[in-house]
């Protein structure tokens, strides 16, 4: 009788969970209004040739999807040159943030390749605005394969560059691909514990639980064959968004490009917590540069994590916030350090 009662109780719990998820998936009250950004446009780099004269549109395929990319080549192509493969952060597109860096690399004699991940920007992939870390890693690897097959590029001198959410991508890939020459991780999201602790403190457990519900709704809708449930990436304080903070909202607003869409499929809330690039760092055999912002509000790094990083990488710190590194004198300092690093190892 006891086993029968247990079986009935489990059946009731499973049925209740399914009903909860089903109602969550179809309830119209869970829809979240869009929060379009008042884009101010990206600042032009202080130096560098006009973008149109410096890059060309290229593409490569991943699992039947065409990925849109920009290739930057230096003027001197008398011999194959090193190439820096660049991946953007959370929700970013190739026309957002990366071009000022790519132009500087080009001036320094390097090739650079930027691309849109599947589901974003000008790349193919359905549904739109879907973040799947494993897929983005595969996209990054496809970009590496594409660059290695270019006649203008030396396949033995490939560097990886990532920023913010993609800061750990290069480390993860280099741990597997021993042919990578070096890796640069700018304001990277490497310390998951510190990030989670900060978000709970800043946003509160109520907002975290609401985010989880939105993630559950999106997952259930995908399993029922319904349209994806999307939420804003950034929003004003008090609104429903992944990052509803004034610094994140203002930071994205200042950096947002024409192709940036302030939305993401909410399932990312449930599917991004197993990514631990720090666990791969000790297996990386090439030089690694990690640039940490002291006052980072999105990707903080604890003192304990920094000590671990310094065992395997060159670490540079900057007395700035997460979004400061992309503009002005802080950009100049960070990109100068990167070029010095690439000159040394490429």
Q: Digits of tens for pLDDT over the chain (346 positions)?
A: 576 666 666 666 777 776 767 667 777 778 888 888 876 655 444 444 455 567 999 999 999 999 999 999 999 899 999 999 999 999 999 999 999 999 999 999 999 999 999 999 999 999 999 999 999 999 999 999 999 999 999 999 999 999 999 999 999 999 999 999 999 999 998 888 888 888 888 888 999 999 999 999 999 999 999 999 999 999 999 999 999 999 999 999 999 988 899 999 999 999 877 688 888 999 999 999 999 999 998 899 999 999 999 999 999 999 999 999 999 999 999 999 999 999 999 9
The predicted pLDDT at position 104 comes to 97
Query: Could you say which architecture CATH assigns to the domain 51-193+275-345?
Result: 3-Layer(aba) Sandwich (3.40)
Contact 314, 127 (CB under 8 A): no
Strands 81-87 and 288-295: unpaired
Closest CA to 181 of 70, 75, 284, 334: 284
What pLDDT score was predicted for residue 37? 83
| Structure tokens belonging to residue 265 | 């499929």
Q: How would you classify the pairing of strands 81-87 and 153-163?
A: parallel
Element (H, E) at 22: helix 2-26
CB neighbour class for 315 (10 Å; exposed up to 12, middle 13-18, buried from 19): middle
Give the residue from 71, 72, 110, 70 showing the smallest Cα distance to 93.
Answer: 70
Say whether the peptide bond before residue 302 is cis (omega within 30 degrees of 0). no
The candidate with the shortest Cα–Cα distance to 198, out of 298, 339, 313, is 298
Taking each helix axis from N to C terminus, what angle separates 205-223 and 2-26, rounded to the nearest 10 degrees?
Answer: 90
- Give me the residues paired with residue 87 across strands: 162
pTM for the complete prediction? 0.90
Whole-number pLDDT of residue 192: 80
**The predicted structure's pLDDT at residue 44:** 43
- CB contact at 8 A, 305 and 197: no
């Amino acid at each position: 009788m006891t086993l029968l009662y247990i079986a009935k109780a489990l059946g009731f719990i499973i049925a209740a969970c399914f009903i909860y998820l089903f109602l969550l998936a179809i309830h119209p009250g869970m829809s979240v209004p869009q929060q379009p950004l008042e884009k101010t446009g990206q600042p032009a780099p202080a130096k560098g040739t006009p973008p149109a004269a410096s890059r060309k549109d290229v593409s490569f395929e991943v699992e039947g999807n065409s990925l849109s990319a920009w290739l930057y080549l230096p003027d001197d192509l008398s011999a194959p040159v090193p190439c820096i493969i660049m991946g953007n952060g959370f929700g970013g597109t190739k026309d957002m943030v990366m071009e000022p860096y790519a132009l500087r690399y080009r001036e320094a004699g390097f090739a650079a390749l930027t691309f849109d991940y599947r589901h974003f920007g000008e790349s193919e992939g359905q549904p739109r605005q879907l973040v799947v870390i494993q897929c983005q890693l595969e996209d990054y690897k496809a970009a590496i394969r594409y660059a290695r097959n270019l006649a203008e590029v030396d396949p033995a001198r490939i560097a990886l560059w990532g920023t913010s959410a993609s800061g750990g991508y290069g480390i993860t890939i280099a741990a597997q691909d021993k042919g990578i020459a070096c890796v640069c991780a700018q304001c990277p999201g490497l310390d998951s514990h510190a990030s989670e602790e900060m978000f709970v403190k800043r946003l509160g457990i109520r907002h975290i639980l609401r985010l989880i519900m939105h993630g559950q709704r999106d997952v259930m809708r995908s399993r029922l064959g319904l349209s994806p449930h999307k939420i804003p990436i950034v929003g004003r304080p008090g609104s429903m968004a992944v990052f509803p903070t004034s610094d994140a909202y203002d930071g994205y607003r200042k950096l947002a490009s024409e192709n940036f869409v302030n939305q993401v499929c909410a399932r990312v809330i449930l599917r991004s917590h197993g990514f631990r690039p720090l666990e791969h760092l000790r297996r990386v055999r090439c030089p690694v540069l990690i640039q940490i912002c002291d006052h980072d509000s999105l990707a903080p790094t604890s003192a304990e994590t920094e000590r671990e990083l310094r065992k395997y990488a060159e670490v540079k710190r900057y007395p700035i916030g997460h979004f400061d590194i992309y503009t002005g004198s802080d950009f100049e300092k960070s990109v100068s350090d990167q070029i010095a690093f690439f000159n040394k190892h490429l």
